[in-house]
A and B are shown apart, each in its own frame.
Chain A
Amino acid sequence: MKVYVAIKRVIDPYIKVRVKSDGSGVETANVKMSMNPFCEIAVEEAIRLREAGHADEVVVVSAGEAACQEQLRTALALGADRAIHIETDAVVEPLSVAKLLAALVKQDQPELFILGKQSIDTDNNQVAQMLSALLGYSQGTFASNVTIESDVVTNGVRQAIIVTREVDGGLETLRLTLPAILSTDLRLNEPRYASLPNIMKAKKKPLDVLTPETLGVTIKNHQDVIEILTPTPRAAGVKVDSVTELVDKLKNSAKVI
């Protein structure tokens, strides 16, 4: 089975972002960029599927500016076989990303496509669901466990995967017909680190560069971001010296207990 993974270049999760004073966006100049943490989990899961003999090839894809290739090289160093960069400087909203990925799927027909559940910059949590809708595939979002049902084989093709999902109030397990789209939740796995020899080897692995035009997709924007605002900061608090003082404050000043 062929597994595709989508990855996104985002501001490093440990950076505290600053809103630009003119409200046009957040400061990205000289800010450390990384692979979105949920995408790292997606890459890890795909590689584990290959190590377990379920996947023959792991392909990583990213859409965006030229610098995305850094994150694609990282994924190759982690063990992906080849990479596809869909190069564009346009703002790509989730629906456009889904259309670009759907065009690739139609060309190459992977049985499984794994994405992160959300990117930590725009916090949308939409692309995986949109991709499965465009393709008419099943979806297993917020996955915390994935099992290939290897005993069910028809015409040489595995028919289903079992996906446990993290939902409000507990867990839900689904059986999905392949081909399927998955999105990863935090507890699916713990991503590995790339070793130095693998980073060197990754430089030689194939990385194809495509454009939205070659995929026949027009990037359309459905939303205008009018302004980026800084959240109102909380008023400074006080330190109390004892439990008695704390309880007194909560009862008599804040009146919450």
Chain B
Amino acid sequence: MTILIIAEHDNHRLGGEILKSVGAVSTLKLNIDVLVIGSQCQSVTEEASRIDGISRVLVADDPNYKDQLAENSALLIAEIATDYSHIVASATTFGKNLLPRVAALLDVGMLSDVVIIESEDTVIRPIYAGNALARVRSSDSKLLMTLRGSAFDAASLGETQAEQKALDIVIGNDWSELVERQASESERPELSAARVVVSGGRALGSKENFALIEQLADKLDGAIGASRAAVDAGYISNDYQVGQTGKIVAPELYIAVGISGAIQHLAGMKDAKVIVAINSDPEAPIFEIADYGLVGDLFDILPELIDSV
């Protein structure tokens, strides 16, 4: 019985979420292998082999895997699946895109966005935008799941090197090819991993006013987030959206500014340790879950807050 964890990376650096996945499955006390699929990704393999608690790093390094597209990656994983009782990825867009494809190839079901692993076959996962939790037992011979990073503690990177094993399975991809990737540039901490998140909503009123959110975030060394309304209004790009259809965050401090608190948004942040709501409407639903609420005009409150933290 061994667990296979699929690593997310950009051929240079390992994505941070895998440490959460390793931390999450370590409670099962099974051997853990990490799979790195990529091209010229030696530095990723080196980094992955230093994750505490893993047995081996498998590496499929070939130009065909350069962009880690789902079609051939899924076939590769399905080919080595026999050796594993669990196949796991982070519930990031990478994991969500890839793992259901693997599940169907193996003719097994899949468990998405798991937040608690109770045993080798039973997990808890949120449904209805986090308004209910389902305790689910899988009857499949193999458990495939994506794990919600914010629900687990990260494993650490140590000095010990796990064994590295090269896979010589090469599968081409005639189905899809990458045209381009456009990254949103940001100096700030990554939204899903930040200790503090300051989020703005429609009440900011304009893209220019969103600078107030950025200033407060910078003062607190935090990341910036947004409600869907702010994204749709064009104040900020969609990869900053917090919510059921955006990113799920669980920082120590979440400051919601001018956000009413729609179900969709709450699903993405209600597990934050401390929630602060700043809103002019005392009846806004966000106040029902906020630890500290301040009713007032955000254009009066934000500058004062920026000055005093």
Contacts from A to B (Cβ < 8 Å): 11, 13-14, 16-17, 19, 26, 93-95, 98, 117-118, 120-134, 137-142, 144, 162, 165-177, 180, 185-187, 221-231, 234-235, 237-244, 246-247, 249-250, 254, 256-257
Distance in angstroms between the alpha carbons of A105 and B245 in the assembled complex: 28
Number of interface residues of B (CB under 8 A): 87
Binary interface profile of B, 98-126, with partner A (CB < 8 Å = 1, else 0)? 11111111011111110000000010111
Partner of B305, one of A98, A117, A185, A246: A246
Residues B175 and A138 in contact, CB atoms below 8 Å apart: yes
Tell me, rounded to whole Å, the shortest Cβ–Cβ distance linking A91 to chain B.
12
29 A-B pairs with CB atoms under 8 Å apart are A19-B131, A94-B109, A121-B128, A123-B126, A123-B129, A123-B244, A124-B112, A125-B96, A126-B103, A126-B112, A132-B71, A139-B70, A139-B176, A141-B70, A166-B239, A170-B183, A174-B69, A175-B176, A177-B175, A229-B124, A229-B133, A229-B134, A229-B135, A234-B270, A234-B289, A239-B293, A246-B294, A254-B253, A254-B292
**Interface contact B291-A237, CB-CB below 8 Å:** yes
Q: How far is the CA of A244 from the CA of B292 in the complex (A)?
A: 12
A257 to B309, Cβ gap below 8 A? Answer: yes
Given known A-B contacts A130-B100, A223-B137, A256-B273, A173 and B129 have beta carbons under 8 A apart: no
The reply to whether B304 and A243 form a contact with Cβ atoms under 8 Å apart is: yes
A23 — nearest CB in chain B belongs to which residue?
Answer: B135
Dominant secondary structure at the B interface: mixed
Binding site for A on B (CB under 8 A): 69-71, 74, 92-94, 96-105, 107-113, 122, 124-140, 174-184, 192, 196, 220, 228, 231-232, 238-239, 244-245, 247, 252-253, 263-264, 270, 273-276, 282, 287, 289-295, 301, 304-305, 308-309
Chain A interface, DSSP helix/strand/loop, else mixed? mixed
Q: B137 near A226 (CB under 8 angstroms)? A: yes
A162 vs B70: C-alpha distance in the bound complex, in angstroms? 16
| Chain B residues whose C-beta falls within 8 Å of the C-beta of A121 in the assembled complex | 127-128
- The answer to whether B309 touches A173 (Cβ under 8 A) is no
Instruction: Report yes or no: B293 in contact with A237, Cβ–Cβ below 8 A.
Output: yes
Pairwise interchain contact A171-B97, C-beta atoms closer than 8 A: no
Contacts A122-B127, A129-B101, A176-B176: A170 and B244 contacting too (C-beta < 8 A)?
no
C-alpha spacing A250/B107, complex, angstroms: 50
Q: Which residues of the partner chain A approach B113 to less than 8 Å between Cβ atoms?
A: 123, 125
- Asked whether A224 lies within 8 Å of B137 as measured between CB atoms, the reply is yes
